[in-house]
């Protein structure tokens, strides 16, 4: 079931993290989260297996900080 996010597209950011093992994904995700402590995470989606080319992918959708402005 998809959630509704009532934000403008310019207020939403996406990060895609990739790893080969659950342990390395945990390390990469922890590093991302540690560097984005003030960031509001809206959702996370995990893909594992053939669709992701054998890798473990973690998609993070977050609310951009206002001070980031336009990229």
pLDDT at 44: 93
Indicate the burial class of 29 (C-beta count within 10 angstroms; 0-12, 13-18, 19 or more): middle
Which architecture, in CATH terms, is 11-68?
A: 2-Layer Sandwich (3.30)
Summarised one tens digit per residue, pLDDT across range 6-52 is 888 899 999 999 999 999 999 999 999 999 999 999 999 999 877 66
> Does 1 score more than 60 pLDDT?
no
Asked whether the CA dihedral 55, 59, 60, 63 is positive or negative, the reply is: positive
pTM for the predicted model, two decimal places: 0.78
pLDDT at 63: 94
């Amino acid at each position: 079931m998809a959630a509704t996010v009532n934000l403008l597209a310019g207020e939403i950011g996406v990060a895609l993290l990739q790893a080969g093992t659950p342990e390395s994904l945990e390390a990469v995700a922890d590093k991302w989260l540690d560097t984005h402590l003030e960031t509001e995470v809206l959702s996370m989606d995990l893909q594992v297996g053939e669709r992701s080319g054998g890798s473990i992918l973690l998609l993070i959708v977050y609310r951009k900080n206002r001070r980031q402005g336009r990229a």
